[in-house]
Amino acid sequence: MRQLKTRTVGLLAALALLGAVPAASVDAAPAGHPHAVAAKTCSAGYTHADLSWGEKCLRAGQFCKQNANREYHRYGYHCKSNGHLRRY
C-alpha cells in the first residue's frame, strides 16, 4: 500500500511539472518584424539599460562598475573615478 502511495505522489508531481511547461505559442507577427518588449520599466528620470549583468534603471549619481564604461556609454552614461554615474 505504501509503494502505491509513493508512485501516485510521484506521478502527480510529474504531471504537475508537465503542466507548468508553457505551450508553444504562435506569434501573429511576421517573422521579419521582431518586436522587443522591455521586461523592466523605469520611473521618470531613469534610463532602462540591458547590461551584461542584468537589466537596470540608470540615473546620474548612482553607484557603478568602473570597468563597465563601454556598456554605460551605450546609454549615455560614464562611470567616474569616484564610482558614480554621470550623464554626458
Question: pLDDT, tens digit, for every residue of 1-19?
Answer: 666 566 666 656 665 655 5
Domain ranges in the chain are 63-88
Q: What 3 state SS string does 20-55 have?
A: HCCCCCCCCCCCCCCCCCCCCCCCCCCEEEEECCEE
In the Cβ-directed half-sphere of 30, how many Cα atoms lie within 13 Å?
2
Question: pLDDT, tens digit, for every residue of 45-81?
Answer: 999 999 999 999 999 999 999 999 999 999 999 999 9
